[in-house]
Structure 1
Amino acid sequence: MKIDLTETNSSKINSALVQARRDIGTPAIGMVLTLVIVTDEENAYDALKSANDASHEHPSRIIVVIKRVSRSPRSRRDARLDAEVRVGADAGTGETVVLRLHGELVDHAQSVVLPLLLPDAPVVVWWPEGAPADLAGDPLGALGQRRIADTYAAEDPLAALGARAAAYAPGDTDLSWTRITPWRSMLAAALDQQPVKVTSATVEGEEDNPSCELLAMWLADRLGAPVRRTTSTGPGLTSVRLESKDGSIVLGRADGALATLCMPGQPDRSVALKRRDTAELLAEELRRLDPDNTYESALKFGVTRLSPSEPAQTQAPAPAEPEAPAAPEAKPRASRKAAAK
């Protein structure tokens, strides 16, 4: 069921939700949280589709906040709220409210969202793109116990990581961190099987991929060993290599689906390590609403590594072999050419 409301308010939206539930006989007590999605028209469809898919595991009230850009001074002064209420098959396993804010109301979105939150239920705020630098300091972010961003969607992902670390608050998280959960689990299991002392590590993946940076920070933080970051053509993360005096542990994934785990003294084995879609990542994040201390530790460990003022700590580069000067080599080559003539 869909109900369109033009030039409305929060009270009328709540009444429409109650009436729609009565009409189709759907109670609200089965919903476990409120998911607030802050996005734009361009990304609203994909974000809502992912949220609806995730709602099969986490029935919730989904509130989509779309801030419409006003092009003229007159329209920027006129505050207007349009809404679309979806209940039943059109809203996954919960219910959905799509809010379109116009004019001055764009700067006061929290006043519209607050009356629509489920009572006595946790609130999660998700920015599919365009997340503020300070998630907890944002008026909408302040409503949530959990705040989800995605630095992969940022224009400069590495700078966004630094901003996340500087403004981190308990409850903040990042889908770029969620993407490496299978990698972290696989590497931890490999070290459980072979408890070696890792002397160095290498993380290889796409350039400007924050998941690669976060994995490198996590390894450096947990292992206390230098970690080198190298680039590849992808897709995403392609390999992690852990060096020790007993040999190398290598987890490589060239095709984005199937990885190979190589360990000293054991045959190579194939492991499923496919790239997951946004709905799976979101569902994983909604399973926990407490602060992620491991993410916090890895993120803050990387602050100095992202700082250009301390290049020695930046991603722990491997020592480079000395190169022969170019000038002395040019003369012998020239003399050999002359001798050949």
Structure 2
Amino acid sequence: MKIDLTETNSSKINAAMVQARRDIGTPAIGMVLTLVIVTDEENAYDALKSANDASHEHPSRIVVVIKRVSRSPRSRRDARLDAEVRVGADSGSGETVVLRLHGELVDHAQSVVLPLLLPDAPVVVWWPDGAPADLAGDPLGALAQRRITDTYSCEDPTGTLATRAAAYAPGDTDLSWTRITPWRSMLAAALDQQNLSVVSATVEGEDENPSCELLAMWLADRLQVPVRRTLSSGPGLTSVRLETKDGDIVLDRADGSLATLCMPGQPDRAVALKRRETAELLAEELRRLDPDNTYESSLQFGVAKLHAAQAATAKAAPPKAKAAEGRADAPAPAPEPTPAEGAPAPKPAAKPAKKSAAG
């Protein structure tokens, strides 16, 4: 059931949801959380579809906030709220409210969303694209116990990781981190099976893929060993190699679906390591609402190493070299920075033609 409301307010939206539940014969509310999606018109359909799919595992009230920014000075002054209420088969296992904010109301989205939150239920805010630098400091982010972003959707994924580390607050997380959960589980299980001491590691994957960078950060943080980051044509994360004195542990996934696990003294085995859709990633994040301390530790450890490497490179830069005869002094070319252990790698001269979204 769908109800369209034009030039409305939060009170009328709440009344419309109550009436819609009565009309379809389900007056009881069985939802466990409120999921607020902050997006634009271009990404709203895909984000809402993923949220509806995830709601089958986590019945929730989904509030989609679409900010309609106009270039006309008069339109910016004319605040208006349009809404669409969906209940029943049109809204997954919960109910959905799509809000379109116009004019000055764009800057006060939290005032519109606050009356629509489920009472005494957790709040999760998800930015599929265009997340603010300070998630907890954002007016909408301040309403939530959990704040979800996707670094892969940014123009500069590795640079955004540094921004996330600088402004991290308990409850922040990233779908790029969620993508590597099966990889982390598989590698941890492999090390639990054999008492081997890892001396170094290599993470191979696409360029500008933050999941690869986060996995390298996690390995460097937990194992306290040097971690190299190498590039491949993908898709996504393709291989992890843990070097030990007794042989290498290799987890290789060349096709994005089936991986091969190689361990010293054991036959190779095939393991399922399928690249997951956004709905599956979102459902995993909604299973826990407490701070992810492992994500925080890995993120801040890797970014701190990167800054330390950049500072060391700048300090070791040679002085200006004397130019050839009859020419003025010219600065010597700066040496290329060396990536830190577990830190994002520098961009190569050429990039793959296309990159995939999953880890």
Using structure 2 for the length normalisation, give the TM-score: 0.87
Compared CA separation, residues 121 and 313, structure 1 to 2 (3 A): farther
SS at match of 2:241: strand
Distance 2:311 2:29 in 1: 53
Q: Say which structure is richer in helix.
A: 1
Distance 1:161 1:20 in 2: 43
AA aligned opposite 2:339: T
Distance 1:140 1:31 in 2: 20
AA aligned opposite 1:316: E
Higher-Rg member (1/2):
1
- What does residue 309 of structure 1 align with? 311
AA aligned opposite 1:309: A
Pairwise CA distance, 1:26: 1.8
Q: Is the 8 A contact 1:158 1:306 kept in 2?
A: no
Q: Is the 8 A contact 1:5 1:82 kept in 2?
A: yes
AA aligned opposite 1:75: S
Pairwise CA distance, 1:197: 0.7
Q: Is the 8 A contact 1:198 1:244 kept in 2?
A: yes
Distance 2:112 2:82 in 1: 11
- What does residue 290 of structure 1 align with? 290
Indicate the percent of aligned positions where both proteins have the same amino acid: 85
AA aligned opposite 1:314: P
What's the CA shift string for 1:237-263, capped at 9, x where partnerless?
000000011110000000000000000
Q: Is the 8 A contact 1:305 1:313 kept in 2?
A: no
SS at match of 2:311: coil
Matches within 5 A, 1:123-162: 123-162=123-162
Pairwise CA distance, 1:28: 4.4
Distance 2:202 2:304 in 1: 18
Distance 1:28 1:60 in 2: 13
- What does residue 322 of structure 2 align with? none
- What does residue 84 of structure 1 align with? 84
Distance 1:245 1:309 in 2: 33
Distance 1:206 1:115 in 2: 43
SS at match of 2:129: coil
The reply on whether 1:188 has 2:213 as its aligned counterpart is: no
SS at match of 1:199: strand
Distance 2:19 2:157 in 1: 44
Runs of 4+ displaced beyond 6 Å = none
What's the CA shift string for 1:197-244, capped at 9, x where partnerless?
100000000001000000000000000100000111000000000001
What's the CA shift string for 1:21-46, capped at 9, x where partnerless?
11112234310000000000000000
AA aligned opposite 1:281: L
Matches within 5 A, 1:97-116: 97-116=97-116
- What does residue 245 of structure 2 align with? 245
SS at match of 2:239: strand
AA aligned opposite 1:91: S
Pairwise CA distance, 1:194: 1.3
Higher mean C-alpha deviation, range 28-37 or range 48-57 = 28-37
- What does residue 223 of structure 1 align with? 223
Q: Is the 8 A contact 2:302 2:341 kept in 1?
A: no
Q: Is the 8 A contact 1:162 1:306 kept in 2?
A: no
Matches within 5 A, 1:253-332: 253-307=253-307, 308-310=310-312, 314-316=339-341
Q: Is the 8 A contact 1:65 1:98 kept in 2?
A: yes
Pairwise CA distance, 1:290: 0.3
Q: Is the 8 A contact 2:217 2:341 kept in 1?
A: no
Q: Is the 8 A contact 1:304 1:313 kept in 2?
A: no
- What does residue 330 of structure 1 align with? none
AA aligned opposite 2:239: S
Q: Is the 8 A contact 1:125 1:140 kept in 2?
A: yes
